[in-house]
């Protein structure tokens, strides 16, 4: 899973990147630099601790997320997103927008004043403008093709243009593709375009320690903002979280408990990212290895087997499945079998969150 982090210059996005990846990337305005900061981080999951106690495996493999701290785009605001910057955003599974709410006289705001809602809208508009340009170019290519096509063969092209124009006009009205109730045939037209407003978006408002203590901005305001923009929203004190991320994990946990800070920035962002991407987690477990596997909701057992290994999907026989809750309660797979709670599921079974699965196959 790749998540691209973007924001206006001096929004603190690299600080947030360092906080959630325990990284040491430099905080500079690296305008024109084409390569993002990249870090892979392990997904914390307390359910793996439960399975570790039950199986005592040789190794435990956590799910991973790759974060890309995008450099500032070479274009000025309002001139769109293009080139390599656009290409990298198109390859991401989700976008994490960092918006500045902290006021620091030593770090001037690119727009002179601090207004985190304005900044969020600025980024979202830029993403929409990029999509409009992509759609306009597609329409131009279709029209060029139509010039060399017989009149009785043009109906398909005409229908494609109508669909694209409908989506394009919606973008101009502020209707992002992820919120657009498109029909299957309409989605098929734009499949593969890499449209940015079709991607899930998580917004994190970067606050300072004083704002965190006074609970500003309010959670109600953030919830309303997320609902209106069709995004998931949270607030993070990037500087504090970065400092905590530099501590040993045990010291960090003690500090959080003493200060009543609650969930870490990494845990918060991953939870929202999973929610935005509609992901759940199933597990495979044995004395050799315990592993977490994130998959989209409504993934079948056959597809889940393919995520583990293509041979397992190809030679799928059945999936032995138990809920982690039942496994933890009874204490062993033998007890689960004894009470008849180990289910035999077919290829079309829809995986549930926290399922522990063993795939039987004949390849």
CATH number of 77's domain: 3.40.50.300
Q: Please report which confidence band the pLDDT of residue 339 belongs to, taking 50, 70 and 90 as the band edges.
A: very high
Let me know whether 206 and 172 are in one domain: no
pLDDT in tens, 265-314: 888 899 999 999 999 999 999 999 999 999 999 999 999 999 999 999 99
pLDDT (mean) for 177-194: 89
pLDDT of residue 246: 87
pLDDT (mean) for 94-99: 95
Query: Is the confidence at residue 160, as pLDDT, over 70?
Result: yes
Of 54 and 217, more confident: 54
Q: Please report which confidence band the pLDDT of residue 61 belongs to, taking 50, 70 and 90 as the band edges.
A: very high
Query: Is the confidence at residue 19, as pLDDT, over 60?
Result: yes
**How far is 100 from 225, CA to CA, in rounded Å?**
15
Q: Please report which confidence band the pLDDT of residue 213 belongs to, taking 50, 70 and 90 as the band edges.
A: low
Let me know whether 28 and 119 are in one domain: yes
- Residue 131 and residue 171 in contact, taking contact as beta carbons nearer than 8 Å: yes
Q: Please report which confidence band the pLDDT of residue 148 belongs to, taking 50, 70 and 90 as the band edges.
A: confident
Any domain includes 108: yes
Domain holding 252, by residue range, is 2-45+63-126+198-277
Q: Which residues contact 167 (CB under 8 A, 6 or more apart)?
A: 135, 177, 180, 182, 186, 190
- Residue 101 and residue 12 in contact, taking contact as beta carbons nearer than 8 Å: no
Which of 56-70, 209-223, 277-291 comes out lowest in average pLDDT?
209-223
Let me know whether 203 and 190 are in one domain: no
Query: Is the confidence at residue 31, as pLDDT, over 70?
Result: no
Of all residues in the chain, the percent with pLDDT exceeding 70 is 93
Q: Residue 356 is part of a domain; what is its CATH number? A: 3.10.20.30
Let me know whether 250 and 141 are in one domain: no
pTM of the full structure: 0.88
**How far is 124 from 224, CA to CA, in rounded Å?**
16
Any domain includes 283: no
- Domain count within the chain: 3
**C-alpha separations of 342 from 134, 303, 327, 348 in Å:** 50, 20, 9, 17
DSSP state of 32: T
End of a domain among 176, 195, 214? 195
Of all residues in the chain, the percent with pLDDT exceeding 90 is 56
pLDDT of residue 35: 80
């Amino acid at each position: 899973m790749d998540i691209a982090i973007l924001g206006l210059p001096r929004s603190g996005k690299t600080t947030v990147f360092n906080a959630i990846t325990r990284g040491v990337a430099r905080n500079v305005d690296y305008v024109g630099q084409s390569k993002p900061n990249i870090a892979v981080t392990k997904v914390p999951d307390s359910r793996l601790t439960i399975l570790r106690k039950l199986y005592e495996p040789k190794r435990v493999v956590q799910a991973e997320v790759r974060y890309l701290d995008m450099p500032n785009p070479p274009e000025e605001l309002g001139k769109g997103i293009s080139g390599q910057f656009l290409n990298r955003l198109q390859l991401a599974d989700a976008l994490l927008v960092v918006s500045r709410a902290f006021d620091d006289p030593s770090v001037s705001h690119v727009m002179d004043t601090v207004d985190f809602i304005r900044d969020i809208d600025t980024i979202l508009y830029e993403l929409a403008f990029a999509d409009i340009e992509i759609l306009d170019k597609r329409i131009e290519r279709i029209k060029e093709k139509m010039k060399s096509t017989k009149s009785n063969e043009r109906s398909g092209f005409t229908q494609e243009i109508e669909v694209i124009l409908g989506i394009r006009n919606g973008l101009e009205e502020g209707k992002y593709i992820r919120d657009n109730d498109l029909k299957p045939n309409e989605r098929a037209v734009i499949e593969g375009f890499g449209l940015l407003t079709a991607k899930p978006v998580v917004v994190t408002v970067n606050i300072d320690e004083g704002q965190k203590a006074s609970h500003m901005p309010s959670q109600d305001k953030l919830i309303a903002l997320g609902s209106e923009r069709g995004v998931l929203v949270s607030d993070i004190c990037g500087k504090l979280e970065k400092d905590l991320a530099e501590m040993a994990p045990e010291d960090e946990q003690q500090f959080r408990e003493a200060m009543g800070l609650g969930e870490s920035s990494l845990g918060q962002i991953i939870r929202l990212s999973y929610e935005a991407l509609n992901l759940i987690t199933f597990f495979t477990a044995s004395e050799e290895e315990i592993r977490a596997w994130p998959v989209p909701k409504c993934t079948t057992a056959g597809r889940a087997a393919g995520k583990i290994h293509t041979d397992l999907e190809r030679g799928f026989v059945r999936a032995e499945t138990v809920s982690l809750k039942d496994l933890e309660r009874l204490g062993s797979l033998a007890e689960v079998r004894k009470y008849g709670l180990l289910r035999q599921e077919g290829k079309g079974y829809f995986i549930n969150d926290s399922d522990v699965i063993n795939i039987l196959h004949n390849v």
